[in-house]
Structure 1
Amino acid sequence: MGSPAMEIYGPIFIGVVFNIALYGIMVTQTYLYFQMYKRDRTWMKLLVFLLFICDTVNCAFDVAFVYIPLVNNFGNNEAISRASWVFATDPFMTGFIAALVQFFFAWRVKVLTANMFAVCVICFCSFAQLCGGLGTSIAVGMIPEFVQFRKFQVIVIIWLAFSAVADTLITAALVWHLRRNKTGMALTDGIINKIIRMTVQTGLITALCAIIDLILFIVSPTGLHLIFNLPLSKLYTNSLMSSLNSRSGWQYSDSSQVMSQNANRSETQRLPRVRNVNMLKSGDHGRRGPQEIYIDVESHEMVDVVDMKGSPYPGAHDYTPDQKVASPTQSRESGSAHAA
């Protein structure tokens, strides 16, 4: 039977694979952001760039702390059973990335709700989880044996619990404000509902992952919690980038749907037929017989003609326009003929 440390590298490997996969999504999201939102504020662009650098460094460290014990120290059980300094950087990097994302969402809560109490609580929880991540990195450096990690579970609980609380408060504050500001108009409420769904999805994913990571760390002596711990930083950055990149869809999705529905409705709806009715009495006012009435009914229909660069309609030479209403003289003659 292998040592407990050897069993840990199975969850570590799975967590690193998820981390790299999410990093690829982060690269794509970052590229799309700088292509589509060139007019964003400078500090927002710097924040995205900083998060991308932190994600890149974190991803490189994750690959390194798998490569060093399993390749460079292959067969060395003592090296496999201990966490290197590279592994110790992961909790701090995750806490730092989470703090940047949570502070950004706290700023968004301030702009939207102007509720300084909620903003202060979110910032406090975010700062507490940052301190917890830093404390966890220090504790790993002091107690590097994997089987001894449960000795500093208090600092890990502070780290992950405050992180989950901050994410939950951000989601609750934004959803509460958006629901209160519904206007009753279908177009506006549709956009608000889309923002609510995006907020819930991005906020609850990180909160749920942190909670599962914390529960598995407490109840399981193995490294199963690392499957959820290692990709946590990439979940935070991807949640922020998906929130930023989805802004272009908020103004087009529902409005375009309404416009297409109106266009389809106008295409299927028939135009009313215009009828010109001329009621002309017979010209012989002295006759005693019953007067007959001549009714001239004329119908008009709309014909769409596409004129490309001034070129005439292809079938224009074959097109015969509708007969106009007869002139008064012709009308009298035809009316007299019918009356006779």
Structure 2
Amino acid sequence: MSPYSGTYGALLLGALFASGFSGIVAIQSLLYFKLYPKDKKSLQALVLVVWLFDVTHTTLVWAAMWDYMVENLGEDSYEDHIPGTIAFSVVLTAALTFLTHCFFAHRIYRLSRGNWYLTVPVLILALGRLASASVSGGEMIKLKSYEMFRAQFRWLFSMGLALSSGADVLITVLLFVLLRQTKAGSLTLGHIIDACILYTFETGSLTSVATVVSMICWITLDNSLIFLGLHFIIGKLYANSLLASLNTRKHLRRSRATVTAVDLMNMPHLSTLPRDFQNSKERADIRGVQVNVIKSVQYDVDVEK
């Protein structure tokens, strides 16, 4: 096996996969602006910032690869060197993670109808992750050595990854509970809420697993850069999860639009009611149930409102 397989080889594979995911981010960004031209300016700005951060991150990754594999290829001592581009890519990954966590924290806030007790813990974990990564990036620039950085700040980098994974788990659990409560109070929108729950588990587990695996490699593989190759991909996964969440709204809206007051009035247990009841004020109240059900789903679908 080549002596570079766990260092330059791991970085090269990470850079290639990161570039592929970056292409998906670009496609999703363009799709968003095409599908939702009337979204709030703040939400459009968020998507634009995420896209720009992602492009900048990819540029930094390949600048680092050029430094390792072209400018200094064959210099064994350079394997331990940390270019400034790597340090800045770590900070940008944390920034993308932070924006995604804040986005889902806002969704939790809306679904819980303004419950700060559920929202604040997510924000604290997100801020802790951003602070840890920012300090780690600064120390990488200062020390310029993986060996020295591991010796002095292994705990700090590990804590940042652990906080990121913890935020993912907390977001997934909270969204699951809140969506289940919404489903329990609805009549005919169960399949839409089930789709939201499934998506929550898929995105939350994907980002969390990638972060945990990177952390394990960082802690256990002292003479390897496999953790960094995985770290290149983490920011892309977060960016894609945010954009995919926004771009699925139109599909959910179409599914939601098929449920009307007529559908509710045609339900078997309602069709057996006396005619005078169906023509009374209570019938209007039943129609109102349908409106409330749609509003309950709207918190998870129409995040820009």
CA shift for structure 1 position 160: 0.4
Secondary structure, in 3 states, of the residue corresponding to 1:40? coil
- C-alpha separation between the residues in 1 aligned to 2:54 and 2:101? 16
Higher Cα radius of gyration:
1
Letter in 2 for 1:171: T
Aligned-pair RMSD on alpha carbons? 2.1
Q: Residues 211 and 234 of structure 2 are in contact (CA less than 8 Å); yes or no, is this contact kept in structure 1? A: yes
* 1:119 maps to 2:119: yes
- C-alpha separation between the residues in 2 aligned to 1:228 and 1:245? 26
- C-alpha separation between the residues in 1 aligned to 2:115 and 2:186? 26
> Could you tell me the TM-score, scaled by structure 2's length?
0.79
Cα shift readout 1:25-73 (whole Å, capped 9, x = no counterpart): 0011001100001111110000000010000000000000001121122
> Could you tell me the TM-score, scaled by structure 1's length?
0.71
**Corresponding residue number in structure 2 for 1:175:** 176
**Corresponding residue number in structure 2 for 1:8:** 7
- C-alpha separation between the residues in 2 aligned to 1:109 and 1:142? 38
Written as runs of structure 1 = structure 2, the 5 A alignment for 1:93-242 is 93-113=92-112, 114-151=114-151, 152-183=153-184, 187-221=188-222, 222-242=224-244
Secondary structure, in 3 states, of the residue corresponding to 2:189? helix
**Corresponding residue number in structure 1 for 2:251:** 249
CA shift for structure 1 position 248: 1.2
Written as runs of structure 1 = structure 2, the 5 A alignment for 1:329-340 is none
CA shift for structure 1 position 168: 1.2
**Corresponding residue number in structure 2 for 1:290:** none
- C-alpha separation between the residues in 1 aligned to 2:245 and 2:216? 28
CA shift for structure 1 position 188: 0.3
Q: Which runs of 5+ in 1 are unaligned?
A: 259-340
CA shift for structure 1 position 255: 6.7
Q: Residues 162 and 215 of structure 2 are in contact (CA less than 8 Å); yes or no, is this contact kept in structure 1? A: yes
Q: Residues 18 and 231 of structure 1 are in contact (CA less than 8 Å); yes or no, is this contact kept in structure 2? A: yes
Structure 1 residues 236 and 148, CA gap change in structure 2 (3 angstroms): same
**Corresponding residue number in structure 1 for 2:279:** none
> Relative contact order, CA 8 A, sep 6+: which one is greater?
2
Q: Residues 187 and 255 of structure 1 are in contact (CA less than 8 Å); yes or no, is this contact kept in structure 2? A: no
Letter in 2 for 1:225: F
The sequence identity of aligned pairs, in percent, is: 26
- C-alpha separation between the residues in 2 aligned to 1:104 and 1:226? 25
Q: Greater share of helix residues, 1 or 2?
A: 2
Cα shift readout 1:268-295 (whole Å, capped 9, x = no counterpart): xxxxxxxxxxxxxxxxxxxxxxxxxxxx
CA shift for structure 1 position 79: 3.3
CA shift for structure 1 position 145: 2.2
**Corresponding residue number in structure 1 for 2:43:** 44
Secondary structure, in 3 states, of the residue corresponding to 2:89? helix
Q: Which runs of 5+ in 2 are unaligned?
A: 261-305
CA shift for structure 1 position 146: 2.9
- C-alpha separation between the residues in 1 aligned to 2:193 and 2:102? 22
Residue-pair matches, total: 257
Written as runs of structure 1 = structure 2, the 5 A alignment for 1:4-83 is 7-83=6-82
Secondary structure, in 3 states, of the residue corresponding to 2:214? helix
CA shift for structure 1 position 75: 2.9
Letter in 2 for 1:218: I
Structure 1 residues 210 and 190, CA gap change in structure 2 (3 angstroms): same
Letter in 1 for 2:72: N
Q: Residues 6 and 80 of structure 1 are in contact (CA less than 8 Å); yes or no, is this contact kept in structure 2? A: no
Q: Residues 188 and 259 of structure 2 are in contact (CA less than 8 Å); yes or no, is this contact kept in structure 1? A: no
- C-alpha separation between the residues in 1 aligned to 2:5 and 2:179? 49
Q: Greater share of strand residues, 1 or 2?
A: 1
Q: Residues 187 and 254 of structure 1 are in contact (CA less than 8 Å); yes or no, is this contact kept in structure 2? A: no
Written as runs of structure 1 = structure 2, the 5 A alignment for 1:86-97 is 86-97=85-96
CA shift for structure 1 position 85: 0.8
- C-alpha separation between the residues in 1 aligned to 2:180 and 2:52? 36
- C-alpha separation between the residues in 2 aligned to 1:116 and 1:257? 32
- C-alpha separation between the residues in 1 aligned to 2:6 and 2:81? 13
Structure 1 residues 84 and 227, CA gap change in structure 2 (3 angstroms): closer
Written as runs of structure 1 = structure 2, the 5 A alignment for 1:267-286 is none
Structure 1 residues 215 and 79, CA gap change in structure 2 (3 angstroms): closer
Structure 1 residues 195 and 2, CA gap change in structure 2 (3 angstroms): closer
- Larger deviation: 17-26 or 180-189? 180-189
